[in-house]
Each structure stands twice: as structure tokens, then as C-alpha cells.
Amino acid sequence: MATPASAPDTRALVADFVGYKLRQKGYVCGAGPGEGPAADPLHQAMRAAGDEFETRFRRTFSDLAAQLHVTPGSAQQRFTQVSDELFQGGPNWGRLVAFFVFGAALCAESVNKEMEPLVGQVQEWMVAYLETRLADWIHSSGGWLFSRGNMGALIGGWDSCAGKEAWG
């Protein structure tokens, strides 16, 4: 499970990544995480991995969040359902990047459909999912510190993400 020392890293990583992706899509949410270049090497690595993931799998994952037809009442259930499906074959760094991309896409779709309050909730669900369901794997795989200098590990599991069909 997550230790108190890992929680701020996870929360900051999620906030930075989501803010970065929202700004990429033209949503300006004021100054905050994700604005400008990332100072933390982990944030830089996750941003780069997310960008590369979206480039490589643009067709497979295009309009993923829109396909879910999320409403405020169904958002958490759909988030959990897709996340569970994503990690059904077990976690790896590629699936973890896909999880971040999915969470950010869900946030962007929430803003697009004028459901901005969901953005903070989705980020909280991401942190909770990471800290409850994936923390042991992250820790046993070297933790966030491992991924800071190991872009290859982030990229390595991507081919196992492309075949997921249960998104909608």
C-alpha cells in the first residue's frame, strides 16, 4: 500500500499531468499544475510518455472519453470500470501511462460538456485508484523514483494496451 511519503508524489503527479493535458487541449484553468515546463523529472517523464502514447495509439483511443457517455451520476462507475478493464491483465508501466491518459481525457471531456466539477473528482479517483489498487505494484516495480529515469520502462508495456476493446 502507499506510504505517506508516496501520497504527495502521486497527487502532484496526477494534478500535473491532468493540468498539462487540459492546457494542451486549450482548456485554461488558471495558473497551477501542468502549466509551463515540468520541474520534476517524474512529471517530465509522465508528460512525455503520455504524449508518445497518444501519438502511437491515436486511432485506438481517439474520443475514448466521449464514447463513454459520462454523466455526473455515472462518471465514477465508468471510471472504475474502464480502469479495472485496463489493468485486467495485470499492471505494467505502459498500462499506467494509459491510465493517466484516460483520466486526463475524462477530465477534458468533463470540461467540454460543462461538467467542470468532475475534473477534481476524477483526479481524486485517479489518486485513490493508484494508492489502493496499484500502490503495491508500483512499489515492487521500483516506485515512482524508478520511472523518473526509465522512460523505456514506461514505453515497454504499451503494446498490451492497444488491444483493449471494452471502452464503450
For 10-24, 58-72, 76-90, 125-139, which range has the lowest pLDDT when averaged over its residues?
A: 58-72
The CATH number of 6-155 is which of 1.10.260.40, 1.10.760.10, 1.20.1260.10, 1.10.437.10? 1.10.437.10
**Which pLDDT band, with edges at 50, 70 and 90, does 153 fall under?**
low
21-25, 27-31, 38-42, 106-110 — which is least confidently predicted?
27-31
Answer yes or no: is pLDDT of 61 > 90. Answer: no
Q: Taking each helix axis from N to C terminus, what angle separates 41-56 and 6-24, rounded to the nearest 10 degrees?
A: 50
**Percent helix, strand, coil in the chain (nearest 5)?**
65, 0, 35
Residue with the larger pLDDT of the pair 84 and 151: 84
The more confidently predicted of residues 19 and 144 is 19
At residue 63, the 3 state secondary structure works out as: coil
pLDDT above 90 for 127:
yes
The x, y and z cell numbers of residue 30, run together, are 488558471
CB–CB of 119/111 below 8 Å?
yes
Query: What pLDDT is stored for residue 154 in this prediction?
Result: 55
The structural domains of the chain, with segments of one domain joined by +, span 6-155
